[in-house]
Structure 1
Amino acid sequence: MLLTGFATVELAVQALTEYGALTCLRKETFNRAEFRALIQQALASARHAGRPAEGAGAAAPDSIAGSQAHECGLALVVDDDAGWRAILSELLSDAGYRVHSCAGYGEALGRLRRETYSLAVVDLALEGSSGDVPRPWHDSLDEDESLLGYRLLASTRAGGVPTFVVSGVATPAEIERVYDEHAVFAFFEKHAFDRRTFLHTVAEAQTGAPLSLELNLLTDRERQVLQLLAQGLTNKEIAETLVITTNTVKRHLKAIFRKLEVHTRSAAAAKAISAGVSVDWLEEEDEDL
């Protein structure tokens, strides 16, 4: 196969006729799924001709991946760059997801309201965001107004969807804010994007999704109460720390127990620990609400 970024008709004809190339692929229109299919076709032709290629066994992983396709559920990709949409969609398809891709905020929001997703990948700066407007305008807007991706993060969090951000516009402060305020699973910067790392993180999300979904159901205040509970604080101590009443603490704990489907403080603390909440010490005995 000839894969080139400098493809003229004459070059393609010469590769196919004079040098016996199977096909000529242009880099600017390269499609990974099409490429895999051509590789399998070439290997099958070589075996049929009695000339087994050394890498003939390489087709096996593709056939295995094909048998596992779409077992991970539905994934949403939101990016206004067609090239990035294609890359992310193909990677998620390889990982076993059925993928819906959207180019803008409105289409993505509609999808989120109609469908149930197992994973979402969102770019912060979607078309219609104010990232390209004059700086004084940008400075006068808060994050949710300046980048439409933030609004989608609020929607995916409310729906309990594990979410990745893949963006080229974030500052270190914005990255921290995305993790702290929107509880994303991972953040990837486009200029340093690595496919293997992305796929590895997707696999981590698949195994950690059930717990993440549960914790995403909690409000910010309930998360604070859960963290303090996991550190072993009593209701009175939690109330003093958060400057709320003990009755309010009890109300939050009831909501936490219901959402996490637990009945004791220690069970709730165990789920917090599994989710990576820092814990100094735990009470050995359960307490009633």
Structure 2
Amino acid sequence: MTRILVVDDDPPMCARMQRVAEQVYGAGVCTVVGTLAQARTLLGALAFDLVLLDVNLPDGSGVTLLPWIRQHAPQAEVVIVSSLGDDATVLQAIRAGAVGYLLKNGEDMEMELSLRSMQRGGAPIDPVIARRILLQLNAPEQAGAEAPPAQASAAAATTTAARGDRAELTERELAVLRLVAQGHSNREIAESLHVSINTIETHAKNIFRKLAVHNRSAAVHSAQQQGWLG
């Protein structure tokens, strides 16, 4: 039987990952812990086959656990499951040994299909992240091969101008976006800013509209590219 360790401090998310994992691997396969220290203790004592690991944990970044797992529990494959999906974090996790990276805002069916792909030797990567990687890989070649310099410059100027028109975020929207980038849920952001969750959801919709994106990870990526989260 496949043994799975879920490392996340959000009980609803733990229940969700356990439910999805059991759809793929069967009932009773999951053990749940909420900190890096607890994860190290269990991984040092028991043989797990798969670790579903969050990035933002109470005692540090889940990414820092990856080298430790590679050294002390090399049989365990690690898939990051996080709200944080910026390029730097994804790249750092993969370089440190993660075999996959999924976003929490994906659908249960997407997560289930991603885990099933591992059974066929695949690497579960969230479609949003995969698309962004492909776009980045293709961008330099396409820019050089398809557009003459004058046309490329004009297109870049048009894109920049359009982005500037859309990206007039308020100070409160920027505050919300910074908390999103840190991996906080809408409820956590609402509590931090002392407003209702409906207010945060309204801010999120406005941010998505102004940045012309459709989800949290894309909003964070856009903001990082524009230097707002530095």
Report 1 or 2 for greater relative contact order, CA contacts < 8 Å, sequence distance ≥ 6. 2
TM, length-normalised to structure 1: 0.38
TM, length-normalised to structure 2: 0.48
Q: Which has the larger radius of gyration?
A: 1
